[in-house]
Amino acid sequence: MVALQRHDYAGAAAVFQELLAGFPRERALLDRARVYLGICARELLSRPPTPQTVEERLTAATAALNNDDDAGAERLARLVLADHPEHDLALYLLAAVQARRGLTEAALQYLAQAIAVSPEAGAQARHDADFEMLRGTPVFTELTEPPHPQPKPRRRRSRSER
């Protein structure tokens, strides 16, 4: 039941299969195990295959984040980072997940890494609701605010130009 509640349908199905084989005379147990086994089968068939390419994983991670599945988004982003440690979108997604969880330090670290790879990530984070809790913190402001242009030093005119 724990595996089923965690949405580990393959693991739950294996346990329910063991129950069917191990307790052939327990009619009530077998009936329930068959019902739960049917649920597992239905869920396994309805789920899309695990994303394989970087693009598929990032798309799935973004969708998971948008569907409030922080754990799924984190898992997929980490799969991308395992092969591409400086992938800006994967770093950004991990920053968003950590921010949503209230883990300020981790969120700022991932966001800083994402911005180092792709400065445009700072502008995106500035307007992203996932970073709401970080707004107003000095580090977030420093990371996401565009640099202010330095005024050009005035050139002194020579006497001949006056």
pLDDT at 47: 73
**Quick check: 37 and 13 in contact, CB under 8 A?**
yes
pLDDT at 51: 83
User: How far apart are the C-alpha atoms of 154 and 151, rounded to whole Å?
Assistant: 9
pLDDT at 98: 97
**Quick check: 59 and 51 in contact, CB under 8 A?**
yes
pLDDT at 50: 74
pLDDT at 157: 61
Give the DSSP letter string of 108-126: HHHHHHHHHH-THHHHHHH
DSSP state of 146: P
Expressed in angstroms, the distance from the first to the final Cα of the chain is: 88
pLDDT at 44: 81
Q: Would you state the structure tokens that stand for residue 75, as one six-digit string? A: 């898992």
Residue ranges in the chain whose pLDDT is less than 50: none
Per-residue pLDDT reduced to its tens digit, 104-123:
999 999 999 999 999 999 99
pLDDT at 153: 64
**Does this model's pTM top 0.85?**
no
Please count the residues of the chain: 162
| Sign of the Cα pseudo-torsion (98, 102, 106, 111, in order) | positive
Q: Around Cβ 1, how many Cβ atoms within 10 Å?
A: 10
pLDDT at 24: 86
Q: Would you state the structure tokens that stand for residue 32, as one six-digit string? A: 């329930």
pLDDT at 151: 62
